[in-house]
Amino acid sequence: MVENCSKCLYDIKHPFGLSLYKDKCTGCITHEEKYQINWGNKEDELRSILENYKKKSKVYDCVIPVIGDAEDFYVLSKVLELGMSPLVVSVNDYFKNDIGWYNLHQLITFFDVDSIVFNPDMRVYKELVRTSLRKYDHILLPFLQLHTSFPVHIAKERKIPLIIWGQNQAIEQVGKFSHHDKVQMSAWSRKEHDLFGIDINTLIGNGAQVQEKYLNYYEYPNISALEKSGVKGIYLSNYMKWDPLKQNHSTIKYGYKPQRNNSSFDIYERAGSSVYYQLHDLLKFKRVGYRKVRDHLVREIRHGRISKNDAIVLEKQYNKSKVDINGFFNWLGMTKSAKKWFVMHRLNGFEDLIGYSDSCQKIDLPKKIEKLIQVSEIEKNEFIVFGKGV
């Protein structure tokens, strides 16, 4: 019997792990801390931590890993407000559409910060994506490997002692730790939460046609060397009352462009991706039994913007939305027959959700959510591998 949380939509099979205490899940219990914590004190604590890192490095005080998401705009605005001098580091996932490139460019130019965008070797990257799809029904694992390790390498190599991440997903979703634990970035957490236990060596196994010498940045730096270099990573969500929808809505003033999609009402998270609400969402459904919209609905239940009953109804509606998988298979260079084989054998049972719809479905949302998601755009071009948002 699967045990469910009495307050939200998660059950104990959540891929991050979830416990129930008196019928309430650890995610909901940890969320309640947000209303008990004195966030003024927490912010003071953050200020005093950051004070120790200011001017430790010659040029930059910290690294901010970004993908061009609304959360990145929010994090960068806060870090600059706190008087830090950041270096923005991004990894090209080769899945961005015109909105994705626009947002990344806007982030860098609006805040006028220095940046590094790493373009991984395309042949190696595609081979890893192919292997990841074949072995784990996941197309973002190679990107996640890079996104969670490349900024750490940069910090270590350039002697920048601090990395600042936005939210700690494991806390926000399942309450894996208390905010009071003040957990930091670690190799263990990366593997356990960001990579679902699949590091690059496990990913390539004996199946990928990739030479190890090309995988340096896919691997996390040696933790002993990292410790000696003094690099630490902190999460802002441990020090600020985290409310993604509200925060992301506020980033429109910085020129962030949200994007409408069929699979969720959230127009901010991963806007600008050609795959996130398409094949990636379908594969998530297959792997874990629910689509991204459940994460969004749970978050909104906890923030009191939707009732559990209404969320159940909405999830059912969004679960019917179709995804376009052609773009991805074209990007990967798969033939029509290979795609047909994949759908028949690996997406068996999900055929009804594969298709193309040119307009976003209209689903009625609660007013409290509606008012935070008013303006959004639709992409014009997908899978722009190299781009500038100008």
Partner 1 sequence: MRVGSTIVLLDGYCYQSYQWKMMRPLGKLQRVIDSLEAYHCDEISIIRPIRINDSEESFKKDIEKIKKINCMTPLSFGGGLRDFKNIDLLHDLPIERLIFSSAFINKDFKLTEYARNLFGQQAIQCLLPFTIEDNLIKIFLSNEDKFIPIEDMDLAAINENANEIILYDTKNESASNQFDEQIINKLNIDNEKLIISGGIGHLNIKKVKRKNIASVLIDNKVLHKEYSIKGYKNG
Nearer to partner 1, 142 or 175 (CB): 175
Q: How far is the CB of 188 from partner 1 (least distance, A)?
A: 4
Question: From the list 115, 169, 186, 319, which residue makes contact with partner 1 (rule: CB under 8 A)?
Answer: 186
Q: How far is the CB of 27 from partner 1 (least distance, A)?
A: 10
Q: How far is the CB of 192 from partner 1 (least distance, A)?
A: 4
Question: From the list 45, 59, 122, 197, which residue makes contact with partner 1 (rule: CB under 8 A)?
Answer: 197
Of 210, 234, 212, the closest CA to residue 79 belongs to 234
Q: How far is the CB of 1 from partner 1 (least distance, A)?
A: 14
Stretch that binds partner 1, among 63-71, 100-108, 174-182, 327-335 (CB under 8 A): 174-182
Per-position x/- string for 352-371, each x denoting binding to partner 1 as judged by CB under 8 A, each - no binding? --------------------
Rule CB under 8 A: is residue 376 a binding residue for partner 1?
A: no
Question: From the list 65, 86, 175, 244, which residue makes contact with partner 1 (rule: CB under 8 A)?
Answer: 175
Rule CB under 8 A: is residue 192 a binding residue for partner 1?
A: yes
Q: Which residues, numbered 202-231, are part of the site for partner 1 (CB under 8 A)?
A: 223-224, 226-227
Residue type, 202: T
Question: From the list 41, 121, 134, 188, which residue makes contact with partner 1 (rule: CB under 8 A)?
Answer: 188
Residue 62 to residue 50: CA distance in whole angstroms: 9
Nearer to partner 1, 83 or 230 (CB): 230
Question: From the list 39, 118, 177, 214, which residue makes contact with partner 1 (rule: CB under 8 A)?
Answer: 177
Q: How far is the CB of 300 from partner 1 (least distance, A)?
A: 23
Tokens of 273: 């991706």
| HEC profile of the chain | CCCECCCCCCECCCCCCCCEECCEEHHHHHHHHCCCCCHHHHHHHHHHHHHHHCCCCCCCCEEEEECCCHHHHHHHHHHHHCCCCEEEEEECCCCECHHHHHHHHHHHHHCCCEEEEECCCHHHHHHHHHHHHHHHCCCCHHHHHHHCCHHHHHHHHCCCCEEEECCCHHHHHHCCCCHHHCCCCCHHHHHHHHCCCCCHHHHHCCCCCCCHHHCHHHCCCCHHHHHHHCCEEEEHHHCCCCCHHHHHHHHHHHCCCCECCCCCCCCCCCCCECCCCCHHHHHHHHHHCCCHHHHHHHHHHHCCCCCHHHHHHHHHHHHCCCECCHHHHHHHCCCHHHHHHHHHHHCCCCHHHECCCCCCCCCCCCHHHHCCCCCCECCCCCCCCCCCCC
Rule CB under 8 A: is residue 28 a binding residue for partner 1?
A: no
Stretch that binds partner 1, among 26-34, 124-132, 294-302, 382-390 (CB under 8 A): 26-34
Rule CB under 8 A: is residue 153 a binding residue for partner 1?
A: no
Nearer to partner 1, 192 or 310 (CB): 192
Question: From the list 16, 74, 277, 331, which residue makes contact with partner 1 (rule: CB under 8 A)?
Answer: 16
Nearer to partner 1, 184 or 319 (CB): 184
Q: Which residues are near partner 1 by CB under 8 A?
A: 16-19, 21, 26, 29-30, 174-178, 181-189, 191-192, 197, 223-224, 226-227, 232-233
